[in-house]
Amino acid sequence: MEGPRDFVNPETVIVLDCKAHHGLRKPKRYIRPRALKGDSRAGFTWYFRARRLSIDHAWVQHEKRDATSHQWQRRDRAVPGHVIPIDIALRERNIENTARYVEEVSDPKSPNFGKHWSSEKIANVFSAHDDSKEAVLQWLEESGVDRARVALSTGHNWVRFNGTIKEAEDLFATEYWHYRHQSSGRIRLACDSYSLPQHMRRHIDFAMPTVQLDGIEPVANVRQATDLLARFPGGAKLGSQPCGSLITIDCLRELYKFGPGNTSAVGNEIGIGEWADYLYEPDLPIFYKNFSSPEIPADTVPEFISIDGGLRANLTTVAQGSGVESALDFQSIYSIVYPQKVRLYQVGDGVNVDSVGTFNIWLDALDGSYCTYQGGDQPYVDPAYPDPNDNLSGYQGPLQCGGAPLSNVLSVSYGQIEGALPEFYQRRQCTEWAKLALQGVSVIYASGDSGVANRFNAGYPNSCLNGDPDQLYVDVNGTRYSPSFPVNCPYITAVGATTLNGADVASGERAVSSFGSGGGFSNIFEAPAYQADVVAAFQSQYGPDYGPNVYNNTGKARGFPDVSAIGLNVATVFNGSTLGVGGTSASAPIFAGIVTLLNEARLATGKGPVGFLNPTLYANPDAFNDITIGSNPGCGTGGFNATPGWDPVTGLGTPNFEKLRDVFLALP
């Protein structure tokens, strides 16, 4: 939004209110500059200084919630004296250069391919400028917030202080209300929008708590398992069933042309993130015995990394805490990568899960410079530690800030709703994924299991959006496609799901039809350079004629998924039973395991890890099995169709390991 164009009375500056219904707030007064005594131009000088001061201190709307879903009801005004933590995200330096930095180390045509950055270099390049820190501190002080009350984050990218509702309302020219969610009964403190002084906008990314309402837990992209023991009373083992009935490691190796792992190279770890879903380790030796080849030793378990109170499953009671998501992730990856090392990042205490949706506490642990000060990154979005819940099992230690080891590959099978989170918040976190890309980390995410509709969450029977592209929010009656987060971020490799066409591998693959493989186009992020041509080509040749009220049909938006892999009837042992499990939760770890084998091949020749994959993948579409059958329906439509070339159902297709290995071995 542009600043004021007309001269404002220099003695008072009108504060633009953030709410359409409440009109203007009382104007704030600023000190009128004095004319220089004896200067014949004093009046003229005063006029221009005053005018500049007026323009600089004029308030401009900084962030506004597009609209409020009818699931949220505004109740009462917040109590002015109530104290809340107030977080201000300082604008980082060089954000405008992020895409170029990542491209320099990940584009196969770049002379700097593979020259990944250190964490120290990243902190030096991106940390907020000292001028921004000082400007925000001075603004707070002028507004009555003493510097002794203010703390800076570890990376000097955040400012936090405890303030009253009245202080927050005065700072952000807004009014705070309590909102109640009809389905869950949750209460949120929020405003409809907020403003900042014109001169502060270049220093601040966003502030919290402000417009955010939905603090919703992550959703695992795993489908209902099929109990194979009911069909095969003798149990299922490797080679006992055709691949069309049960996907095992033999099927995957034949389908994607890779062999067993060969070495346990130090520094070639793969990590899996889990939230409130626990790995039941006694299932592992059963899986190894029946479904690994060569058989993995029975005592093989992942390195356990607890983040903010993450716990192991209760090994004495299988019903307590164990999850099919974790079983699927680790068994699939171990069967592909062993003897490579596998890590389990168990994130969060399992109690404070109402707001663990957006992965920030994991990023905090991986990168200490990302942390906010003493507790959750953003109230009502990320969890606070020590855990404020009235529950003795909650984690009472401090928020983990750095210290968790990085792995070459990170695989995550959880997702969120783009339309449920503020744009500023998503962009800030996307930059953090870019920083991992700069360090040579391949981040793999499942694309989702509800086609273009996204997942049920936060009390909504569906997560489709309302039809107005200028006022997007999750709507129970919505018909607009709902992209996922964080696969909308262009620095993540998103993986969709396929299934076999027939009883065996020779039948080929198609888009999975038992559920909709998540895919579509972001309403926030533009198509990155590596993807721009294929997105435009899909839209011009195969884009459905639904119009902009159904999806972002500009042909210029970030599209997902990037690739796909088998995502149905994948052999999994859960609580002692053999299951066939489906979902992009199966596809993501399979693809991540293959990436680890690519790293193994490069490390064996003295080269570094592949790092951020997408530029190289899109430059080599022939290294994929193009999927041209199937669709991903949702929101009352047929969704998109799988087509020749990239499409928002199966991406570039499924991997051919031999071709990908040759591509990456040819790179420096």
Report, as residue numbers or ranges, the catalytic residues.
Answer: 325, 329, 585
CA angle 535-536-537, nearest 5°? 90
CA 203 – CA 206 distance, rounded (Å): 9
Fill in the DSSP letter of residue 343: E
CA 457 – CA 220 distance, rounded (Å): 11
Q: Is 583 annotated as a binding residue?
A: no
Q: Is 647 annotated as a binding residue?
A: yes
Q: Residue 267's Cα: distance from chain center in Å?
A: 25
The separation between CA 557 and the C-alpha centre of its own chain, rounded to angstroms, equals 17
* CA atoms of 594 and 590, how far apart (whole Å): 6
**Please, how many CA atoms are within 13 Å of residue 577, restricted to the half-sphere of its CB?**
17
Q: 627 a known binding residue?
A: yes
The secondary element (H helix, E strand) that includes residue 138 is: helix 130-142
Whether the CB-CB separation of 524 and 427 falls below 8 Å is answered with: yes
Do the Cβ atoms of 479 and 547 come closer than 8 Å?
no
Is 662 annotated in a binding site? The answer is no
Q: Where are the alpha helices (DSSP H) in 480-622?
A: 532-542, 584-604, 614-619
Question: Residue 166 burial by CB count (10 A; 0-12/13-18/19+): exposed, middle or buried?
Answer: middle
Q: Which residues contact 400 (CB under 8 A, 6 or more apart)?
A: 307, 308, 361, 364, 365, 385
Which ranges of 240-305 does DSSP label H, i.e. alpha helix?
Answer: 249-256, 283-291
HSE-up of 216 (CA within 13 Å, CB side)? 27
Residues 238, 335: Cα–Cα separation, whole Å: 11
Instruction: Identify the burial level of 386 via C-beta atoms within 10 angstroms of its C-beta, where 0-12 means exposed, 13-18 middle and 19 or more buried.
Output: middle
Side-chain-side CA neighbours of residue 156 (13 Å):
14
CA torsion angle for 311, 312, 313, 314 (degrees, to 10)? -90
The interaxial angle of helices 324-337 and 584-604, nearest 10 deg, is: 30
Beta strands in 372-511 (DSSP E): 409-412, 414-417, 442-446, 484-485, 493-500, 509-511
DSSP structure string for 77-122: EPPTT-EEEEEEEEPPTTGGGHHHHHHHHH-TT-TTTT-PPPHHHH
Q: Which residues participate in the annotated binding site?
A: 626-627, 645, 647
Q: Which residues participate in the annotated binding site for Ca(2+)?
A: 626-627, 645, 647
